[in-house]
Amino acid sequence: MSQTKSPKVYNPLLELKNIHVSYGGVKALVGASMFINTGEIVALMGPNGAGKSTILKAIFGLAPIGSGEVIFESEKIKPISHEVVEMGISFVPQGRRVFHHLTVLENIEIGGFNIKSANERKERIEMVLDLFPALRAKIKAKSGTLSGGQQQMLAIARGLMIDPKLLLLDEPTLGLSPKIVKEVFKIIKEINVRRGIAICIVEHNLKSVLDIATRAYVLKSGHNFYEGPTGEVISTGVLAKAML
Ligand SMILES: Nc1ncnc2c1ncn2[C@@H]1O[C@H](COP(=O)(O)OP(=O)(O)O)[C@@H](O)[C@H]1O
Ligand SMILES: [Mg+2]
Protein backbone atom coordinates (compact mmCIF):
# COMPACT_ATOMS: atom_id res chain seq x y z
CA MET A 1 0.00 0.00 0.00
CA SER A 2 1.50 3.35 -0.90
CA GLN A 3 0.46 6.80 -1.99
CA THR A 4 -3.21 5.86 -2.06
CA LYS A 5 -4.41 9.46 -1.95
CA SER A 6 -3.13 12.31 -4.02
CA PRO A 7 -2.41 15.32 -1.85
CA LYS A 8 -4.89 18.17 -2.02
CA VAL A 9 -2.28 20.88 -2.10
CA TYR A 10 1.06 20.63 -3.84
CA ASN A 11 3.23 23.68 -3.33
CA PRO A 12 6.43 22.17 -2.03
CA LEU A 13 8.99 24.11 -0.09
CA LEU A 14 11.00 20.92 0.15
CA GLU A 15 10.68 17.73 -1.80
CA LEU A 16 12.49 14.40 -1.59
CA LYS A 17 12.27 12.09 -4.57
CA ASN A 18 13.21 8.43 -4.41
CA ILE A 19 15.93 8.84 -1.79
CA HIS A 20 18.33 5.97 -1.07
CA VAL A 21 20.64 5.98 1.93
CA SER A 22 22.89 3.14 3.07
CA TYR A 23 25.08 2.98 6.14
CA GLY A 24 27.68 0.47 5.04
CA GLY A 25 25.62 -2.61 4.31
CA VAL A 26 22.50 -1.31 6.08
CA LYS A 27 19.88 0.08 3.70
CA ALA A 28 18.18 2.76 5.75
CA LEU A 29 16.18 4.36 2.91
CA VAL A 30 15.22 2.54 -0.26
CA GLY A 31 13.31 5.01 -2.37
CA ALA A 32 11.60 7.29 0.13
CA SER A 33 9.71 10.31 -1.17
CA MET A 34 7.93 13.16 0.51
CA PHE A 35 7.18 16.84 0.24
CA ILE A 36 6.46 19.63 2.67
CA ASN A 37 4.43 22.61 1.54
CA THR A 38 5.29 26.16 2.54
CA GLY A 39 3.91 26.78 6.04
CA GLU A 40 2.67 23.23 6.50
CA ILE A 41 3.14 20.79 9.37
CA VAL A 42 3.83 17.25 8.20
CA ALA A 43 4.23 14.23 10.47
CA LEU A 44 6.68 11.45 9.75
CA MET A 45 5.65 8.18 11.35
CA GLY A 46 6.43 4.48 11.32
CA PRO A 47 8.04 1.73 13.38
CA ASN A 48 11.51 1.86 14.90
CA GLY A 49 14.18 1.58 12.25
CA ALA A 50 11.83 2.64 9.44
CA GLY A 51 14.18 5.44 8.40
CA LYS A 52 12.46 8.49 9.91
CA SER A 53 15.57 9.98 11.50
CA THR A 54 17.55 9.16 8.37
CA ILE A 55 15.15 11.26 6.29
CA LEU A 56 15.68 14.29 8.51
CA LYS A 57 19.43 13.70 8.58
CA ALA A 58 19.50 13.36 4.79
CA ILE A 59 17.74 16.71 4.41
CA PHE A 60 20.30 18.24 6.76
CA GLY A 61 23.36 16.73 5.09
CA LEU A 62 24.02 14.24 7.87
CA ALA A 63 23.20 11.01 6.05
CA PRO A 64 24.93 9.78 2.89
CA ILE A 65 22.45 10.08 0.01
CA GLY A 66 23.28 7.39 -2.55
CA SER A 67 20.64 8.42 -5.07
CA GLY A 68 17.50 10.47 -5.34
CA GLU A 69 16.73 14.16 -5.43
CA VAL A 70 16.38 16.83 -2.79
CA ILE A 71 14.62 19.93 -4.04
CA PHE A 72 14.35 23.08 -1.93
CA GLU A 73 12.48 26.13 -3.21
CA SER A 74 12.35 24.56 -6.69
CA GLU A 75 16.11 24.02 -6.84
CA LYS A 76 17.89 20.73 -6.70
CA ILE A 77 20.36 20.77 -3.80
CA LYS A 78 23.11 18.56 -2.41
CA PRO A 79 22.57 18.95 1.32
CA ILE A 80 25.59 20.07 3.34
CA SER A 81 24.76 21.14 6.89
CA HIS A 82 26.13 24.68 6.95
CA GLU A 83 24.69 25.44 3.51
CA VAL A 84 21.32 24.02 4.45
CA VAL A 85 21.28 26.29 7.51
CA GLU A 86 21.96 29.29 5.28
CA MET A 87 19.03 28.25 3.09
CA GLY A 88 16.74 28.38 6.12
CA ILE A 89 16.44 24.81 7.34
CA SER A 90 16.87 24.02 11.01
CA PHE A 91 17.26 20.57 12.57
CA VAL A 92 16.49 19.70 16.18
CA PRO A 93 17.78 16.16 16.62
CA GLN A 94 16.43 13.56 19.00
CA GLY A 95 17.48 13.67 22.62
CA ARG A 96 17.17 17.30 23.82
CA ARG A 97 20.82 18.08 23.25
CA VAL A 98 21.48 21.27 25.15
CA PHE A 99 24.74 22.37 26.72
CA HIS A 100 24.09 21.65 30.39
CA HIS A 101 26.92 23.80 31.76
CA LEU A 102 25.78 26.85 29.77
CA THR A 103 22.87 29.12 30.66
CA VAL A 104 19.59 29.22 28.78
CA LEU A 105 20.63 32.47 27.10
CA GLU A 106 24.03 31.11 26.09
CA ASN A 107 22.40 28.05 24.57
CA ILE A 108 20.02 30.23 22.57
CA GLU A 109 22.88 32.47 21.44
CA ILE A 110 24.71 29.46 20.01
CA GLY A 111 21.81 28.96 17.62
CA GLY A 112 22.44 32.44 16.22
CA PHE A 113 26.15 31.93 15.57
CA ASN A 114 25.80 33.01 11.94
CA ILE A 115 24.05 36.32 12.65
CA LYS A 116 26.65 39.01 12.16
CA SER A 117 24.82 42.09 13.44
CA ALA A 118 24.64 42.31 17.25
CA ASN A 119 21.33 44.18 17.02
CA GLU A 120 19.82 41.58 14.80
CA ARG A 121 20.99 38.87 17.16
CA LYS A 122 19.30 40.65 20.08
CA GLU A 123 16.05 41.05 18.17
CA ARG A 124 16.12 37.40 17.20
CA ILE A 125 16.60 36.35 20.82
CA GLU A 126 13.60 38.49 21.81
CA MET A 127 11.50 36.95 19.07
CA VAL A 128 12.43 33.47 20.22
CA LEU A 129 11.83 34.23 23.90
CA ASP A 130 8.38 35.60 23.06
CA LEU A 131 7.45 32.07 22.03
CA PHE A 132 8.86 30.54 25.22
CA PRO A 133 7.86 32.51 28.33
CA ALA A 134 9.07 29.62 30.52
CA LEU A 135 12.57 30.03 29.11
CA ARG A 136 12.52 33.79 29.54
CA ALA A 137 11.84 33.24 33.23
CA LYS A 138 14.95 31.04 33.46
CA ILE A 139 17.22 32.95 31.15
CA LYS A 140 20.23 32.90 33.50
CA ALA A 141 19.75 29.37 34.80
CA LYS A 142 22.20 26.66 33.82
CA SER A 143 20.45 24.44 31.30
CA GLY A 144 21.33 21.33 33.25
CA THR A 145 18.94 22.47 35.97
CA LEU A 146 15.93 22.65 33.62
CA SER A 147 13.21 20.00 33.44
CA GLY A 148 13.12 17.65 30.44
CA GLY A 149 10.29 19.64 28.89
CA GLN A 150 12.14 22.92 29.32
CA GLN A 151 15.29 21.43 27.82
CA GLN A 152 13.25 20.36 24.80
CA MET A 153 11.83 23.86 24.48
CA LEU A 154 15.38 25.20 24.68
CA ALA A 155 16.58 22.87 21.92
CA ILE A 156 13.71 24.10 19.74
CA ALA A 157 14.35 27.75 20.69
CA ARG A 158 17.98 27.38 19.64
CA GLY A 159 16.81 25.94 16.32
CA LEU A 160 14.61 28.98 15.74
CA MET A 161 17.48 31.46 16.03
CA ILE A 162 18.21 31.17 12.30
CA ASP A 163 14.58 32.19 11.62
CA PRO A 164 14.08 29.07 9.51
CA LYS A 165 11.62 28.48 6.72
CA LEU A 166 11.58 24.80 7.63
CA LEU A 167 12.07 23.21 11.02
CA LEU A 168 12.92 19.52 11.32
CA LEU A 169 11.99 17.98 14.68
CA ASP A 170 13.00 14.44 15.61
CA GLU A 171 10.79 12.97 18.36
CA PRO A 172 10.61 16.15 20.45
CA THR A 173 8.29 14.66 23.04
CA LEU A 174 10.01 11.34 23.64
CA GLY A 175 10.07 10.52 27.35
CA LEU A 176 8.05 13.57 28.43
CA SER A 177 4.93 13.35 30.61
CA PRO A 178 1.53 13.70 28.87
CA LYS A 179 1.00 17.18 30.30
CA ILE A 180 4.36 18.42 29.03
CA VAL A 181 3.79 16.71 25.68
CA LYS A 182 0.65 18.84 25.30
CA GLU A 183 2.60 22.01 26.09
CA VAL A 184 5.34 21.18 23.61
CA PHE A 185 2.78 20.51 20.87
CA LYS A 186 1.00 23.77 21.65
CA ILE A 187 4.25 25.67 21.17
CA ILE A 188 5.08 23.80 17.97
CA LYS A 189 1.70 24.84 16.59
CA GLU A 190 2.31 28.43 17.69
CA ILE A 191 5.67 28.49 15.93
CA ASN A 192 3.90 27.39 12.78
CA VAL A 193 0.99 29.82 13.05
CA ARG A 194 2.80 32.89 14.37
CA ARG A 195 5.96 32.62 12.29
CA GLY A 196 4.66 30.71 9.28
CA ILE A 197 7.42 28.14 9.62
CA ALA A 198 6.91 24.79 7.88
CA ILE A 199 7.58 21.85 10.19
CA CYS A 200 8.41 18.22 9.59
CA ILE A 201 8.01 16.30 12.83
CA VAL A 202 8.89 12.70 13.62
CA GLU A 203 6.34 11.56 16.15
CA HIS A 204 4.86 8.22 17.11
CA ASN A 205 1.93 9.51 19.12
CA LEU A 206 -0.77 9.74 16.49
CA LYS A 207 -3.30 11.46 18.73
CA SER A 208 -0.96 14.31 19.67
CA VAL A 209 0.15 14.91 16.14
CA LEU A 210 -3.39 14.83 14.77
CA ASP A 211 -4.09 18.25 16.27
CA ILE A 212 -1.18 19.96 14.58
CA ALA A 213 -0.21 18.14 11.37
CA THR A 214 -2.21 18.36 8.15
CA ARG A 215 -0.63 15.35 6.50
CA ALA A 216 1.34 12.33 7.61
CA TYR A 217 3.77 9.97 5.94
CA VAL A 218 4.09 6.45 7.29
CA LEU A 219 7.40 4.81 6.50
CA LYS A 220 8.22 1.15 6.71
CA SER A 221 11.59 -0.48 6.02
CA GLY A 222 12.97 2.62 4.37
CA HIS A 223 10.19 3.39 1.96
CA ASN A 224 6.75 5.01 1.86
CA PHE A 225 4.05 2.79 3.28
CA TYR A 226 1.25 5.33 3.28
CA GLU A 227 0.60 9.02 3.03
CA GLY A 228 -2.53 11.03 3.59
CA PRO A 229 -4.33 13.53 5.76
CA THR A 230 -3.59 12.85 9.43
CA GLY A 231 -7.20 11.97 10.20
CA GLU A 232 -7.13 9.33 7.50
CA VAL A 233 -4.03 7.74 8.97
CA ILE A 234 -6.10 7.22 12.12
CA SER A 235 -9.31 6.04 10.42
CA THR A 236 -7.49 3.50 8.25
CA GLY A 237 -5.44 2.08 11.13
CA VAL A 238 -2.52 2.09 8.74
CA LEU A 239 0.04 2.90 11.40
CA ALA A 240 -0.76 -0.31 13.25
CA LYS A 241 -0.47 -2.21 9.97
CA ALA A 242 2.95 -0.69 9.41
CA MET A 243 4.03 -2.04 12.78
CA LEU A 244 3.29 -5.65 11.76
N1 LIG B 1 24.84 5.52 11.76
C2 LIG B 1 24.26 4.35 11.41
N3 LIG B 1 25.01 3.28 11.08
C4 LIG B 1 24.45 2.11 10.70
N5 LIG B 1 23.12 1.92 10.62
C6 LIG B 1 22.32 2.93 10.94
C7 LIG B 1 22.85 4.21 11.36
N8 LIG B 1 21.79 5.04 11.60
C9 LIG B 1 20.69 4.32 11.35
N10 LIG B 1 20.99 3.07 10.97
C11 LIG B 1 20.03 2.01 10.57
O12 LIG B 1 19.22 2.56 9.55
C13 LIG B 1 17.86 2.16 9.71
C14 LIG B 1 16.97 3.39 9.86
O15 LIG B 1 17.30 4.06 11.06
P16 LIG B 1 16.58 5.38 11.54
O17 LIG B 1 16.51 6.34 10.42
O18 LIG B 1 17.28 5.83 12.77
O19 LIG B 1 15.11 4.85 11.87
P20 LIG B 1 13.95 5.51 12.76
O21 LIG B 1 14.33 6.91 13.07
O22 LIG B 1 12.72 5.38 11.92
O23 LIG B 1 13.84 4.67 13.99
C24 LIG B 1 17.84 1.23 10.92
O25 LIG B 1 17.97 -0.08 10.45
C26 LIG B 1 19.06 1.65 11.69
O27 LIG B 1 19.56 0.58 12.47
MG1 LIG C 1 14.64 7.89 14.86
- Cβ atoms of residues 226 and 236 within 8 Å: yes
| pTM score | 0.94
- Cβ of 93 closer than 6 Å to ligand 1, yes or no, is no
Residues of the chain with pLDDT > 90: what percent?
82
Q: How far apart are CA 5 and CA 103, in angstroms?
A: 47
What's the average model confidence in pLDDT over 13-33?
97
Q: Residue 148: count other Cβ atoms within 10 Å of its Cβ.
A: 14
Q: What is the pLDDT of residue 244?
A: 84
User: Looking at the DSSP assignment, which residues form a beta bridge with residue 86?
Assistant: none
Question: Ligand 2 centroid vs 151 CA: distance in angstroms?
Answer: 19
Domains of the chain (ranges, CATH numbers) = 12-243 (3.40.50.300)
Which residue in 165, 170, 166 sits closest to 54, CA to CA? 170
**Please, which residues have CB less than 5 A from ligand 2, an ion?**
52-53
Is 113 a pocket residue for ligand 1 (Cβ < 6 Å)?
no
> What would the pLDDT profile of 144-159 be if each residue is shown by its tens digit?
999 999 999 999 999 9
202: pLDDT strictly greater than 50? yes
Cα separation, 87 vs 66, whole angstroms: 22
What pLDDT is recorded for position 211? 83
| Ligand 1 pocket mutation pick from 23, 27, 220 by most atoms within 8 angstroms of CB | 23
Average pLDDT of the chain, as a whole number? 93
What digits encode the pLDDT tens for the residues 160-200?
999 999 999 999 999 898 899 999 999 999 999 999 999 99
Q: Where are the alpha helices (DSSP H) in the chain?
A: 52-59, 81-87, 104-111, 118-131, 133-136, 148-160, 178-195, 206-210, 230-236, 238-243
> Which residue's CA lies nearest to atom 16 of ligand 1?
51
Give the number of whichever ligand sits closest to the CA of residue 26.
1
Q: How confident is the model at residue 8 (pLDDT cuts 50, 70, 90)?
A: low
Ligand found nearest the CA of 28: 1
Quick one: average pLDDT of 119-131? Answer: 94
At 206, is the pLDDT very low, low, confident or very high (cuts 50, 70, 90)?
confident
Question: What's the CA gap between 66 and 146, in Å, rounded?
Answer: 40
Closest listed residue to residue 218, CA positions, set 5, 11, 22:
5
What pLDDT, on a 0 to 100 scale, did the predictor assign at position 204?
Answer: 83
